[in-house]
Amino acid sequence: MLEALSFFSNSLIASALLSVAVAIIGSLMLVNRYNYLAAAIAHGSYGGIGLAIYFGLPILLGATLFALILALVLAYITLKESRHDILISLLWAVGMSVGIIFVDLTPGYHTDLLAYLFGDILMVPSTDLIYMGAVDLLLVLFITLFYHHLLAIAYDREFAILRGVRVGFLHTTTLLMVALTIVMSIRSIGLILVIALFSVPPYIAEKFTSSFRSMMMLSGIIALGLFVLGLWIAYLFDISASASIILCAGALFLITYHKGRR
């Protein structure tokens, strides 16, 4: 047990840091119905990974810049364009294609790309933990400052506009935060699994709470529970930790599916 704990120490810290992000960004994604947008940022930011590999830049830097730009473009499109669904799907695919092509163009590059698509929480380097901590700090600051405004937008956007809430600014900033959150999850959860992880805990928490604050709290607790359980199962059976965590999320989703439905 102790042996296992020390083996998991980085992954446990990563799990705790990710749980904070799930609590805040996952909840905001759910109440604003940003899941599709977040998925587009997640998949599209593979382009940043490809570019970073090709130009020999740190992966985190490449992915961060690319994901932030993608988030800005998506924010602009969703604010200005009425037929934005098509453009979102296009950006999603174009981003991934950029990644694939630049990895192909990189001479002698054979690293397993699956690592970025599905992640490996057991291999999170300590430098990533600092990145995660910094993003968490930004998220906490963001939600603390703009709690009431963000909630007003989520509940009734037009009314928020009437009250003078900066809807465009907060919509854009939320998507930028989503982008940072996705990048911080790449190495541990991967681009493909990240959306499920960020959706399930808030979805469950929403049914059992009566304020957005408690919804965020409960999401964080559920996420942390899923991480610990998933890691434990992965350790016991020597299987992929990310996949185990997501399977736990899926199972919990099914168990609670009929609870609290109107």
Partner 1 sequence: MPSVAVDIRHLSFRYDEEYVLEDITAQIYDREYIAIIGPNGGGKSTLLKLILGLLRPTKGEILIYGQPPEKKRTIIGYLPQNINFNLDIPLTAKTIILQGRLSRNKLFYDPQDYEALESVAHKLKISHLLHTKISHLSGGERQKVLLARALVTEPKLLVLDEPTASVDLGAQKEIYAILKELDMTKIVVSHDINIILEGVDRVFYINRKLFIHDNIELKITPREGHFCEMELFEELKRSCDA
Inter-CA distances, 52 with 49, 130, 161, 251, 254, Å: 5, 20, 39, 36, 39
Q: How far apart are CA 15 and CA 9, in angstroms?
A: 10
**199 near partner 1, judged by CB under 8 A:** no
Token digits of residue 202? 């808030």
Tokens encoding 256:
């609670």
Distance in angstroms (rounded) separating the CA atoms of residues 130 and 104: 30
From candidates 57, 100, 151, 196, binder to partner 1 by CB under 8 A: 151
Cβ proximity to partner 1, 206 vs 229, nearer residue: 206
Q: What is the DSSP letter of 24?
A: I
Rounded to a whole number of angstroms, the minimum distance from the CB of residue 55 to partner 1 is 41
Shortest distance in whole angstroms from residue 218 CB to partner 1: 10
Does 132 engage in binding with partner 1 (CB under 8 A)?
no
Q: Give the integer Cα–Cα distance in Å for 72 and 109.
A: 30
By CB under 8 A, tell whether 141 contacts partner 1.
no
By the rule CB under 8 A, 156 interacts with partner 1: yes
Choose the binding region for partner 1 from 5-13, 83-91, 183-191, 210-218 (rule: CB under 8 A): 210-218
Task: List the interface residues with partner 1, window 165-184 (CB under 8 A).
Answer: 165-166
Q: Which residues, including other chains, have CB under 8 Å from residue 81's CB and lie 6 or more apart?
A: 87
Query: Per rule CB under 8 A, is residue 148 in the interface with partner 1?
Result: yes
Q: What are the residues binding partner 1 (CB under 8 A)?
A: 31, 145-146, 148-149, 151-152, 154-156, 158-166, 206, 209-212, 214-215, 262
